[in-house]
Structures are given as C-alpha cells and as structure tokens.
Amino acid sequence: MARTVNEQEYALKRSEILAATRKLLYRKGYDQITIKDVIDEVQISKGAFYHYFESKQALLEALLDQTRAESEVMLRDIISDTSLPPVARLQHFFDTVGRWKVAQKEYVLSLLRSWYADENVLVRLRVQEGMVVHIAPLLNHLIAEGVAEGTFHTAFPDVAGQMILTLLVGMGDTFAKALFVADRSAATIAQIERMIAAYNDAIDRVLGVPAGTLHLIDEATTREWFVLGGAA
C-alpha cells in the first residue's frame, strides 16, 4: 500500500512541475526558461527537480507527451460518439484539435520553437513514435468502422491511421515552419492554403472518399494563425 501512495505522490509532484512549466512557457517561452526558473516556481530543490526530470529536454518531452495525451483523450471521446458516422467523427477530431491549438496559441508556438531545435531531434522522434503507438490504433478503429459501413474505401484499414498521422506530421512541419517566416503577404497565405489543400486531397485518397470530403484545417483557422498574430 505504501508503494501506491508514493507512486501517487510522485505523479502529483511531476504534474505540478509540468503545470508550473506551462505557466512559464506563456510568460517567457521555452528557450528562455531555465531549470532554476522551474525550481523557483515550484519551490523545490535542484535535487528534487532531477528526481522527476533528468534534463530540460526530458521536461520538454514530458510536456509534448502531455499534449499528445490530451489529443488522445479528445479522439477517444469523439470516436465513442456513435451518433455521428465515422467520416463526421474524423472531421470533428480535426476541427477540435485545430480549435484547441488556436485557443492556446502562445503555448503551442513556444513548443514549436523548441520542437525544431537541433538539440531536440531525439525528443521529436520519441514523441512522434508515441503518437503512432497511442493515436494510430484509435484512428484505425474509426477507419475500420467506416470501411464496414461503406463510407471509407481502403484495403488497409489496419495501417491507414498511421498513414494519416504521417500526413498530419508532414503538414504540421510545413505549416509550423511557415509560421516563423516574417512574410505574411496574401501570396504566402495562398501558398500555405494550396499546401493544405494538397494534404487534404492526400487524406481523401488514402481513405477512398470523394475529393473535398475531409480537411485538416479550414481557411478561417489558417488565416487566424497567419493574419491575427502568427509567430512574429
């Protein structure tokens, strides 16, 4: 019984450190945060911090895993809503994640700046592997439902979820890198929208649905990122 209490205490303190780090991210951005900042925010010793996280990179990985887990919860809730057909549930997932990111734009932008730093390459790979392990099976289940009812048409429902995640990551990389370019001209936004349209078309093809059935992000959300704040 004592071990269970200790595990609970460990998880609670770890969550407290992550919550404090998220607050610091809003105020300073990840690159400007030091381990001392986190220690001061939580009011723990340096030794206590390293009991929970071996490095700043480990802290970043935990934050990204937490973000992935939040997406997983959203996806599970959406998949369980059988009042909607599979294609509507998949679109609802894309829309929900898009709105969730916009709602905490500064936090997402701060994570993205760190996500592409050279020193965080291994973190990025591990988090992407976690997405495949945790998210792809949920998408596969939803796609298999759609195949069974005849709305999705793919011979590979057992791996289609992983293919969709690959497309999501690819589009996210291109989209995020564009956010950190100063150019906010109409031509640049049009180029981004064309890129998104290409990814949308690819997902429609993977799932065997008519062109224009699904979209990863709508025009209004795209313009909110690039016109109303961006990453400048």
pLDDT score, position 4: 52
Q: Is residue 152 part of a domain?
A: yes
DSSP reduced 3-state for 228: coil
Is residue 6 within 8 A of residue 12, CB to CB? The reply is no
CATH of the domain at 194: 1.10.357
Same domain, 41 and 63: no
CATH of the domain at 8: 1.10.10
Same domain, 109 and 202: yes
Is residue 63 within 8 A of residue 182, CB to CB? The reply is no
- For residue 223, what are the domain limits? 55-227
CA atoms within 13 A on the CB side of 154: 24
Same domain, 46 and 72: no
- Alpha-carbon distance 192 to 213, whole Å? 19
pLDDT score, position 36: 94
Same domain, 103 and 181: yes
Same domain, 37 and 66: no
Task: For residue 175, give the H/E element and its range.
Answer: helix 157-179
Same domain, 134 and 214: yes
Same domain, 49 and 127: no
Q: Is residue 87 part of a domain?
A: yes
Is residue 21 within 8 A of residue 63, CB to CB? The reply is yes
Q: Is residue 176 part of a domain?
A: yes
Contacts of 54 (CB under 8 A, 6+ apart): none
Domain boundary pick from 17, 35, 54: 54
Same domain, 114 and 219: yes
pLDDT score, position 203: 95
Q: Is residue 232 part of a domain?
A: no
Same domain, 25 and 89: no
Same domain, 134 and 35: no
pLDDT score, position 50: 94
Q: Is residue 136 part of a domain?
A: yes
pTM for the full predicted model: 0.82
- Alpha-carbon distance 23 to 25, whole Å? 5
Same domain, 15 and 61: no
Q: Is residue 62 part of a domain?
A: yes
Q: Is residue 130 part of a domain?
A: yes
Same domain, 43 and 153: no
Number of domains in the chain: 2
Q: Is residue 47 part of a domain?
A: yes
Note down pLDDT in tens along the chain; length 232 residues. Answer: 444 558 888 999 999 999 999 889 888 878 888 999 999 999 999 999 999 999 998 998 998 888 888 889 989 999 999 999 999 999 999 999 888 888 888 888 888 878 787 888 888 888 888 888 999 999 999 999 999 999 999 999 999 999 999 998 888 888 887 887 767 777 878 888 888 899 999 999 999 999 999 998 887 788 788 765 444 4
